[in-house]
Structure 1
Amino acid sequence: MSDTMGQLSWLEGGAERSAQWRSESGWPAPKKVVVADDTMNADTAYRLALEGTALLWRGDFQNARQLLNALVRRVEHKSDRARRAKAGKGAAKGGAPTPAELFHRHRLQQLQRARTLAMLLIPFDAGHAIPLRRAPDVREACLEAYGPADSAYVASLRELLGVIGAHEWRRKGVRIPALDANIHPWYGVFSPVRGEYVELVAQAPLPKATASMTRAFDIGAGTGVLSAVLARRGVKQVLATDMDARALGCARENIARLGLAAQVDVIQADLFPEGRAPLVVCNPPWLPGKPSSAIEYAIYDPDSRMLKGFLAGLAQHLEPGGEGWLILSDLAEHLGLRPREQLLGWIAAAGLEVAARHDVRPTHGKASDPDDPLHAARSREVTSLWRLRTLS
């Protein structure tokens, strides 16, 4: 049994036990929990996970990783069969699914996949130590992601591997050619791996109103990469805003690493800071939709809230002659989620006009992968920097 307040309960050795439940995805603790170890085979584990029964691991940690890999193979095999079956039914009915239908189907499969794979649980002692044979030392990685742990808790192995991966990204950083330096993303803060949008900000002509290079706003700063680019381009003061505590800490750390703290001020604000600037930059989430985890807030914008909020408030935060730079992919258009006409309507309704637009094709692997479920849309995707100004 479990409740939704972060407590996991289970029977073990004839006694009821409990521990804190931790889920960055915001999922409630599993209602059914069985104790599992090295004697459990992959088929049994997969059946239990599909039924919504969580497996609290008491065996060798490395064997748990192997079991998770086996579960991944079974989930992917099931997804492939389901995709072929639906494609056959569509052909039999004489109609292929629309891009939007493909997208929603893909999202549902991804969510179901994540929930199934999250059923393999790992116990933690206070201080983030794992009381299992051959368990790695994950204390530093978990401290970065979760903060201090004063009591025992349980989390999914899949989430833990994400925490470990994020720790390595944070330690090594991501190379940003426009900065000739690395940006170090934190766990839960979207990494600037798609460099095309960074290059757009690095190369777009600055508006005439920024000739003195005095001030710019970076709305939704994330890792702080765009603020750093603007500072390196000579902007004397950049006000970077975000609402997420991790993003604020991450941006401040990156700005300090780059020696730009005197130029960039990272503040907590919902969209705009006070005042006006000759340049206001925003790279909102590109797809309208409901995030299923914390990291997906950088990808999915419920009801296009951030996009619409940026456009609606831009005019009152621009200095005369200034520009708002909206960095946005058109993937939502190709998926049938948001037509171009709707975006143009929001721009016009906000008293704005398009001064120019700079486009670039993405170069990430999925854009050229014919086996990707959304390949038809991704292959036509264009990332744009929309240069917006108030109507004269």
Structure 2
Amino acid sequence: MSTIHWTENSTPQSARWHSENAAPVPRLTVVADDRTRADDAYRQACEGTALLWRGDFHNARQLMRAMGRRLDRKPPRPGTSPSESFHLHRRRSSHRARVLGKLLVLLDDDYTLTLRRAPDVRQACLEAYGPPQGRTAVSLRELLGVIGAHQWRLKGLVVPALGTRIHPHYGVFAPIRDEYVDLVAHAPLPPATRHSLATSTAFDLGTGTGVLAAVLAHRGIQHVVATDISPRALTCATENVRRLALTDRIEVSGPGLFPQGRADLVVCNPPWLPARPTGPVEQGVYDPDGTMLHGFLAGLSAHLRPGGEGWLILSDLAEHLGLRTRRQLLDAVRAARLRVVDKIDTKPRHPRAKDAADPLHTARRAETTSLWRLAPAP
């Protein structure tokens, strides 16, 4: 356990330090309140000094927004290539997270946030962090994410392909982009599966919230095994399966990638960009060296029944960003002794695809999301 130290009213203080992004303990922490000027807070944060907020909660949010505006004064530097633009964007985002992450709040022994006009964050923190372990300092930016995740967990997200809601948990990738869900909902099932739905089995690898496992069950697959390497995802998927009354059809298993046995259909929606995530939420987007993608391809043939297929749901955004080529993807498919049966494409419908101010707008505008139907090569 890491410990953060500061002095308040001439008295040395300490608390447990927690960061979901594994940010190091600040080397220096000072107390800040409603009298703290945004320019001073921004300068100290850029220098690496953390500010433990002891004023009004809403004023803390305003201060963080003011610090963000100061970060935005310098326009992003364009890259000479798509890959350089991506790495510059990631570097800028990382710097922004480091600076804004220096504004801290203190959670009491029961996760109470004792600031004026502060919301009750106890349940949200319990869901995200588990049982309290004493006074804990966290960044305000992270806490706001925890609060937002709690609201998603309560209200859920509508999934049109299911006609109902999925309830994401903190740190689990939420199905806010429904085009990939629709691909799984409408792609033709493998012939062997269509002819024997009553005995069909499917694997959903990297299930996250369990949304694709639920879609497969709604399509008539009798037994779906949903796996994930994340304990948070396994808990989330289990809860959603129970909410959807699909416990007799969907088995949540893990942590791991492939379960034991073989299936008629193996579905995998790996992170789309081969880059290093900076926190748990980004693990649904970034996959260093395409580890999950290559793991799926390498193990697919050994886990398919005769006549079965593997469905790889993948965006080509990495190709437009110069992070992976189409040839590299197809070479990996061939190296795994697989063949492409078909490829079904769709265009993204999320708002960022139309945001001309996005530094990666050119790549996002050209992006296509595909469902690759794969089978063992003869």
What TM-score, normalized to structure 2? 0.98
1:217 aligns to 2:203 (yes or no): yes
1:14 aligns to 2:10 (yes or no): yes
Find the counterpart in structure 1 of residue 131 from structure 2: 148
Shift of 1:271: 1.0
Find the counterpart in structure 1 of residue 308 from structure 2: 322
1:283 aligns to 2:269 (yes or no): yes
Find the counterpart in structure 2 of residue 343 from structure 1: 329
Q: How does 1:91-110 map to 2 (within 5 A)?
A: 97-110=80-93
Matched to 1:30, the amino acid is P
Determine which of 64, 73, 77 is the counterpart of 2:73.
Answer: 77
Asked if structure 1 preserves the Cα contact closer than 8 Å seen for 2:230 and 2:255, the reply is no
Shift of 1:359: 0.2
1:56 aligns to 2:56 (yes or no): no
Shift of 1:169: 0.7
Find the counterpart in structure 2 of residue 332 from structure 1: 318
Matched to 1:251, the amino acid is A
Determine which of 157, 168, 176 is the counterpart of 1:174.
Answer: 157
Determine which of 28, 33, 41 is the counterpart of 1:32.
Answer: 28
SS at match of 2:87: helix
In structure 1, distance between residues paired with 2:375 and 2:56: 60
Q: How does 1:129-278 map to 2 (within 5 A)?
A: 129-210=112-193, 211-213=195-197, 214-278=200-264
Find the counterpart in structure 2 of residue 92 from structure 1: none
Shift of 1:65: 1.2
In structure 1, distance between residues paired with 2:164 and 2:249: 17
In structure 2, distance between residues paired with 1:132 and 1:121: 12
Matched to 1:173, the amino acid is G
Find the counterpart in structure 2 of residue 122 from structure 1: 105
Q: Deviations over 1:303-327 (max 9, x none)?
A: 1100000001101001111100000
In structure 2, distance between residues paired with 1:37 and 1:172: 33
Matched to 1:122, the amino acid is V
In structure 2, distance between residues paired with 1:151 and 1:270: 32
Shift of 1:171: 0.7
SS at match of 1:366: helix
In structure 2, distance between residues paired with 1:167 and 1:54: 26
Instruction: Give the unaligned 5+ runs of structure 2.
Output: none
SS at match of 2:158: strand
Shift of 1:190: 0.6
In structure 1, distance between residues paired with 2:133 and 2:140: 20
Matched to 2:203, the amino acid is F
Matched to 2:92, the amino acid is Q
Shift of 1:139: 0.7
Asked if structure 1 preserves the Cα contact closer than 8 Å seen for 2:234 and 2:255, the reply is no
Matched to 2:159, the amino acid is I
Find the counterpart in structure 2 of residue 67 from structure 1: 63
Q: Deviations over 1:27-48 (max 9, x none)?
A: 1111111111111111111111
In structure 1, distance between residues paired with 2:245 and 2:269: 23
Matched to 1:260, the amino acid is L
Matched to 1:303, the amino acid is D
In structure 1, distance between residues paired with 2:281 and 2:60: 25
Instruction: Give the unaligned 5+ runs of structure 1.
Output: 88-95
Shift of 1:15: 2.7
In structure 2, distance between residues paired with 1:300 and 1:365: 20
Matched to 2:349, the amino acid is T
Matched to 1:391, the amino acid is A
Shift of 1:12: 2.1
1:47 aligns to 2:31 (yes or no): no
Matched to 2:229, the amino acid is M
Determine which of 326, 334, 343 is the counterpart of 1:357.
Answer: 343
Q: Deviations over 1:161-206 (max 9, x none)?
A: 1011111111111100110000000000010000000000000000
Q: Percent identity?
A: 58
SS at match of 1:300: coil
Aligned length: 375
In structure 2, distance between residues paired with 1:333 and 1:356: 19
Q: Deviations over 1:193-226 (max 9, x none)?
A: 0000000000000001112121000001000000
Shift of 1:14: 2.3
In structure 1, distance between residues paired with 2:39 and 2:8: 22
Root-mean-square deviation (Å): 0.9
In structure 1, distance between residues paired with 2:358 and 2:54: 36
SS at match of 1:16: strand
Asked if structure 1 preserves the Cα contact closer than 8 Å seen for 2:231 and 2:255, the reply is no
Shift of 1:73: 1.2
In structure 1, distance between residues paired with 2:264 and 2:201: 7
In structure 2, distance between residues paired with 1:224 and 1:132: 37
SS at match of 2:357: coil
Shift of 1:136: 1.0
